[in-house]
């Protein structure tokens, strides 16, 4: 059978009541293409999908997308001729291959991010990202099936499949670019079974769109950081096993605080060793904490004996909360003996609040922690660290502060305007996030005036500040 007197059908790869998909050969060029046929008597949704795919593909230009070769109508149907990627989908590929190199996984994820970013920049959402729509050809990855796309300005999507689609689609039908972030989380989960990339996938898959990664650019930065963290971990293990690498990676020679601690295992050396590895990490302060604590726990460098030191125990508990990882909080807490827990009672209770995600452990412990911050003589960096700590807890547990405690939190950070550094920026981000959590509460939420300078290059944050009521 020949379509439009030109395209010879070689194989039918999909057949339904209203849709047929063929592999066809162009009689003029001998090239193989995909032919998608939709009958004119099909239901309106299927006809709409056909027109969507034609419209979207006509505006996209990307080497990993199919190109439109031809569009025509017959008496009974509409037919789209597009590029044929002769391969298998990602799901099938993973079933056939037990192992996949880190290099290839990284390449595929970056390619997917690049493809979705291109779609977003052209004013569309892809919506239907899943392994079945990703085709592998000679270890290159391609994206197909654009019939569920919608314009970013649209308010409702009705065409995407339920597989790997963001939960807000099922609840409201309203989607934005974070819905494609959710889909990327599914692809990350398919490729990574553990490690920092797994945690990143979970962040992308948060049921609340507001808590997901916000853009493809941000996702790319976070993904590269996760890859870097895994790489750093491998290097450190190699350093510990091979004397030859010590000469190549001089920052980890025997003269470093880390090597001294690993040699002595003395509690007095732990904090300086930890700070050394923290300074080697990249990204925001919170990202550094996450990567560093993962490194120490994964390598078994935190011993029960060193946690008998109150100073060390306090330091690592704070780091665990700042990592925003409940498992790590539990890990550190379980290593503490009862005597140390008694000495750190307020911090232990605060950690339990975070772990249990509940207010059942008395609001007074939050109140006491804030009052201690107000009354104790602490350095600026210590105050910032402790404020960041308490904000992590109340954000994650969505604890509603009383007005007096909210005022304390505001006054504490209002005195930090001269501290233009990454910790303050992380603190300010956490404070604005808390403002969004309590926006429907009958509370006066004040924002320090120096935030305008702090976020002068971040339009999103400036919009949040305006939304929350401006500056004080």
End-to-end CA distance of the chain: 74
Of 201, 220, 239, at which residue does a domain stop? 220
- What is the per-residue DSSP string for 190-259? HH-SSSHHHHHHHHHT-SSGGGS---HHHHHHHHHHHHHHHHHHHHHHHHHH-HHHHHHSGGGSTTSHHH
Average pLDDT of every residue of the chain: 82
Strand 2-3, strand 7-15: pairing: antiparallel
Q: Identify whether 232 is part of a domain.
A: no
Q: Identify whether 7 is part of a domain.
A: yes
Mean pLDDT within 332-339: 87
Closest CA to 296 of 356, 242, 229, 349: 229
The per-residue pLDDT for range 94-144, each reduced to its tens digit, is: 999 888 888 999 999 999 999 999 999 999 999 889 999 999 999 999 999
Based on the fold, state whether residues 129 and 260 are members of the same structural domain. no
The three-state secondary structure class of 78 is: strand
Strand 32-39, strand 77-83: pairing: antiparallel
- Of residues 439 and 181, more confidence is placed in 181
CATH of the domain at 32: 3.30.200.20
Neighbours of 253 (CB within 10 A): 12
Based on the fold, state whether residues 313 and 216 are members of the same structural domain. no
- Of residues 299 and 230, more confidence is placed in 299
Based on the fold, state whether residues 176 and 194 are members of the same structural domain. yes
Q: Tell me 146's DSSP state.
A: -
The per-residue pLDDT for range 15-63, each reduced to its tens digit, is: 988 999 999 999 999 999 999 999 999 988 889 889 999 999 999 989 9
Q: Identify the helix (H) or strand (E) that includes residue 427.
A: helix 422-437
The per-residue pLDDT for range 253-300, each reduced to its tens digit, is: 345 788 888 888 888 889 998 988 888 887 777 788 888 888 898 788
Based on the fold, state whether residues 77 and 107 are members of the same structural domain. no
pLDDT grade for 235, boundaries at 50, 70 and 90: very low
Based on the fold, state whether residues 373 and 304 are members of the same structural domain. yes
Q: Are 455 and 428 within 8 A, CB to CB? A: yes
Mean pLDDT within 65-78: 95
Question: What is the domain extent for residue 153?
Answer: 88-220
Based on the fold, state whether residues 404 and 295 are members of the same structural domain. yes
The per-residue pLDDT for range 161-214, each reduced to its tens digit, is: 555 667 766 665 667 888 899 999 999 999 988 777 888 888 888 888 878 888
Based on the fold, state whether residues 459 and 346 are members of the same structural domain. yes
Of 83, 107, 136, at which residue does a domain stop? 83
Q: Identify whether 243 is part of a domain.
A: no
The three-state secondary structure class of 135 is: strand
As for how many domains the chain has, the answer is 3
Residues 6+ apart with CB under 8 A from 451: 428, 461, 465, 471
């Amino acid at each position: 059978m020949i379509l439009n007197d030109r395209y010879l059908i070689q194989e039918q790869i999909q057949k339904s009541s209203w849709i047929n998909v063929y592999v066809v050969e162009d009689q003029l060029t001998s090239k193989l293409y995909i032919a998608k046929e939709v009958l004119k008597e099909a239901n309106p949704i299927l006809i709409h999908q056909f027109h969507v795919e034609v419209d979207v593909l006509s505006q996209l230009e990307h080497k990993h997308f199919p190109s439109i070769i031809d569009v025509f109508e017959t008496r009974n149907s509409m037919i789209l001729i597009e590029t044929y990627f002769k391969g298998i989908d990602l799901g099938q590929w993973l079933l056939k291959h037990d192992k996949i190199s880190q290099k290839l996984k990284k390449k595929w994820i970056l390619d997917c991010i690049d493809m979705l970013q291109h779609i977003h920049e052209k004013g569309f959402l892809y919506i239907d990202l899943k392994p079945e729509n990703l085709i592998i050809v000679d270890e290159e990855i391609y994206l197909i099936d654009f019939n569920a796309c919608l314009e970013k300005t649209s308010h409702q999507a009705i065409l995407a499949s339920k597989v790997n689609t963001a939960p807000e689609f099922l609840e409201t039908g309203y989607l934005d670019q974070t819905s494609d972030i959710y889909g990327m989380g599914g692809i990350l989960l398919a490729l990574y079974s553990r490690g920092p990339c797994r945690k990143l996938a979970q962040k992308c898959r948060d049921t609340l769109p507001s808590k997901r990664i916000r853009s493809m650019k941000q996702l790319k930065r976070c993904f590269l950081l996760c890859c870097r963290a895994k790489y750093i971990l491998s290097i450190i293990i190699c350093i510990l096993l091979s004397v030859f690498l010590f000469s190549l990676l001089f920052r980890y020679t025997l003269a470093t605080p880390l090597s001294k601690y690993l040699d002595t295992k003395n509690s007095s050396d732990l904090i300086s060793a930890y700070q050394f590895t923290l300074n080697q990490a990249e990204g925001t302060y919170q990202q550094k904490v996450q990567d560093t604590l993962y490194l120490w726990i994964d390598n078994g460098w935190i011993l029960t004996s060193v946690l008998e030191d109150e100073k060390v125990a306090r330091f690592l508990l704070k780091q665990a909360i700042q990592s925003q990882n409940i498992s790590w909080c539990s890990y550190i807490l379980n290593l503490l003996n009862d005597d140390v827990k008694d000495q750190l009672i307020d911090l232990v209770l605060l950690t339990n609040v975070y772990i249990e995600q509940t207010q059942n452990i008395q609001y007074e412990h939050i109140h006491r922690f804030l009052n201690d911050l107000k009354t104790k003589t602490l350095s600026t960096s210590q105050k910032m660290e402790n404020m960041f700590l308490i904000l992590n807890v109340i954000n994650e547990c969505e604890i509603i502060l009383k007005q007096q405690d909210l005022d304390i939190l505001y006054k504490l950070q209002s005195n930090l305007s001269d501290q233009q550094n990454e910790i303050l920026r992380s603190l300010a981000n956490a404070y604005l996030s808390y403002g969004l959590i309590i926006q429907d509460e009958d509370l006066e939420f004040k924002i320090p005036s120096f935030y305008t300078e702090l976020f002068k290059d971040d339009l999103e944050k400036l919009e949040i500040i305006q939304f929350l009521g401006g500056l004080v």
